[in-house]
A = this chain, B = another copy of it.
């Protein structure tokens, strides 16, 4: 399998590469791996091809498409906070670069005698949903995003689904839970505090909490997210019946419960690093975010995540804490 990862320089991209390179993931069986991104963190040579480039440039996308990758993981995005600040840039990268990618792949499909149909695994987000919600969001619930990021992801899902229905590509959109605990430094995602309040204290640093502790949200670890992406390549997409956007399993818990799990694992002294510092902008965005899901379809398809927040913290300690 010839594999391309768009947005491979990001946190999830790096996790995904590591998982793919582990020998026990025979489902993908990679022959060549290409990583594409604007920037890559400094790293040792791991035997993969690195392409520095801009997904906002249709010419570069066309060139990529000619390489006929079997699997394309599309992780590249302008994250929620930045898409809200920079309206134009968000729509250009999060929606229109998807259009250019799909158009380029469609052209390869139509021009290839072997009827080239790449599998595309697209990281969508639970930000496609907007309040009010039922207690648990079921698989038939409407997309009514309350952020530009969510609207862009929902539109890109529709594009991917229609190009797939026509047989030009074979796409699946994964509505990832909020990834927690993110290693490294905070990004511009409005959701990054959910990770900060665990990661920073565990590293002996102060973390600011911009929302109330009653806020409930939906989480999965970076390891689970990488596993979702890999598992998605194995699904028989004809069974999806043109509903190619999946709500994934995760852990529903409040910030209070996150902190309680941290206290159980690391003690009160570590918890004392969390300082309340309300932020009206983030509070407003988060108030429209999902709290809990009933992801029946994804569970039936074999997607698996953690079942409580202590497991999520333990995964961070095992995989990322130095």
Residues of A within 8 A of B (CB): 87, 91, 99, 130, 132, 134, 139-146, 148, 151-152, 154-155, 158-159, 161-162, 165-166, 241-243, 288
Contact = CB atoms under 8 A, between A and B. Distances in A.
Contacts of A134: 140
Given A130-B242, A242-B130, A151 B142 contact: no
A142 B242 CA distance: 13
B144 A154 contact: no
Contacts of A159: 151, 155
A44 B145 CA distance: 45
Copies in the complex: 2
B146 A165 contact: yes
A175 to B, nearest CB: 12
B242 A144 contact: yes
A142 B144 contact: no
Contacts of A166: 87, 148
Given A141-B140, A242-B130, A161 B165 contact: no
Contacts of A288: 242
A110 to B, nearest CB: 10
Contacts of A152: 162
Contacts of A140: 134, 141-142
Contacts of A141: 140, 142
A108 B218 CA distance: 39
B143 A142 contact: yes
B143 A242 contact: no
A145 B158 contact: yes
A56 to B, nearest CB: 16
A151 B158 contact: yes
A155 B95 CA distance: 10
B162 A151 contact: yes
Given A132-B241, A144-B242, A148-B162, 16 more contacts: A130-B242, A134-B140, A140-B141, A140-B142, A142-B142, A142-B243, A143-B143, A143-B158, A144-B161, A145-B161, A145-B162, A151-B159, A154-B158, A155-B155, A155-B158, A155-B159
